[in-house]
Amino acid sequence: MDASVGIGMLGCGNVGSALATLVDEHGADVAARTGVELRIVRVAVRDLAKTRPVTFDDGVLVDDPTAVVNDPEVDVVVEVMGGVEPARTLTLAAFQAGRPVVTGNKELLAAAGPELFDAAAKAEVDLLFEAAVAGGIPLIRPLRESLAGDRVLRVMGIVNGTTNFILTRMAESGATFADALAEAQSLGYAEADPTADVEGLDAGAKAAIIASIAFGVRVVADDVYCEGITSITPADIAFADRLGHVIKLLAVADAVDGEVAVRVHPAMIPKDHPLASVRDAFNAVFLEGEAVGELMFYGRGAGGRPTASALLGDLVDAAVNRRRGTHATVATLRDARIRPLDELSSQFYLQLQLFDRPGVLADVARVFGDNGVSIRDVVQQPLRDEARDVFITHRARESDMRATVAGLHALECVDRVGSLIRVIGQE
């Protein structure tokens, strides 16, 4: 077979440069192992004059991405430009021209995944995207291939390194959210505008992709309920610790009776759960398969070289398939009802500050009961200089819990309604 495979890159920022470097460093190994020689023949960039950490031969850098996807020398397209457009249009154009695409672009897949999967299937070419979720951690390939004969029931992931770093700092040093965020920013783990990370939107995009592949169902970012970590306090973390739990921002996807439920929110998980020991900027995805039971995949969810490692794994796969005239099985996604948050159930942790009067607990308990929420534990603890009550519920519907919180706000004996956090893995 012809040993040389031409790579066309769309974009050459942090991740793209890391990929080009890795192709340079490991290309000989890859050729020895697979018989395929990877050659970067075109790289589309916005600014041809910009200095980059990697150099290319004359003529490789171009400023017209359309030329890359249509170049006859390009066998496989690698999209590392980020964002939905023009990445979407260029990816569709590559398929149109019969070229497979490797991408690490989570926004693109979370917004237009189902459309792109269909287009790749129609063109009979690969669309590989291991790098789009959880960076360097092999997750998409195990879901698509290793578990091809199993049924995934639930996926729970720590898929945003920034928020995991912040929560780890808060738990280990007692820092406030604001201080931990500032530290994350100074270390380069958080961006100047941290909204997408701390509000759970980045995790939401990844949750949509994970749910699509795990359950074979069309899920896009807009289907995912997202709640961030900005209101988590040191007191919540201290209470969680006393209850034998840690607080993590989780992306949770469930398959229930042919429907799916996907959401991102902070959650209390028991300290002996495998996800609880995932610290700092690491990511991990925990899943339950019907036959395989519990699995977890752990590693670096971001960073140039880990992401480039995942891209290169896909690139080798696409290149080998290309030379053999075959391609990976594209997931056929079915339509399924996305179960709205209100219909889901969970245990809850609710923190309240109550005025110290006789009958207060009875009044509070009545609001829970009137809304069909059953209390499992009440923990009254002095925390610094004030007393706080923490209520842990039995499993309750989200809509009922929301009504309970509204009712508590209306009670005169309630000074302040604090954090409401879902509790996972107790029942």
The contact set with its own copies (CB under 8 A) reads 18, 22-23, 26, 29-30, 32-34, 130, 136-138, 141-142, 145-151, 216, 272, 274, 276-279, 282, 284, 289, 291-300, 303, 305-306, 308-313, 315-317, 320, 324, 326, 329, 331-332
Nearer to its own copies, 17 or 346 (CB): 17
Cβ partners under 8 Å of residue 9, min gap 6: 16, 19, 20, 40, 42, 43, 44, 68, 77, 78, 80
CB of 9 to its own copies, least distance (A): 15
C-alpha span between 257 and 5 (Å, rounded)? 45
271 catalytic per annotation: no
Catalytic, out of 50, 106, 122, 206? 206
Cα dihedral 138, 144, 146, 151 sign? positive
- Provide the token pair at 16: 């793209």
Nearer to its own copies, 331 or 350 (CB): 331
In three-state form (DSSP H/G/I as H, E/B as E, the rest C), the secondary structure along 280-326 is CCEEEEEEEECCCEEEEEEEECCCHHHHHHHHHHHHHHHHHHHHHCC
Residue type at 251? A
Length of the chain: 427
CA distance 349 to 248: 14
Of 312 and 414, nearer to its own copies (C-beta) is 312
Which of 406, 222, 256, 409 lies closest to 343, judged by CA?
256
Contact indicator for 42, 20 with CB cutoff of 8 Å:
no
**Residue 371, both tokens:** 């809304």
**Amino acid at residue number 191:** E
Fill in the DSSP letter of residue 334: B
**198: which residues sit within 8 A by CB, 6+ positions away?**
162, 163, 166, 181, 190, 228, 229, 230
Active site residues: 206
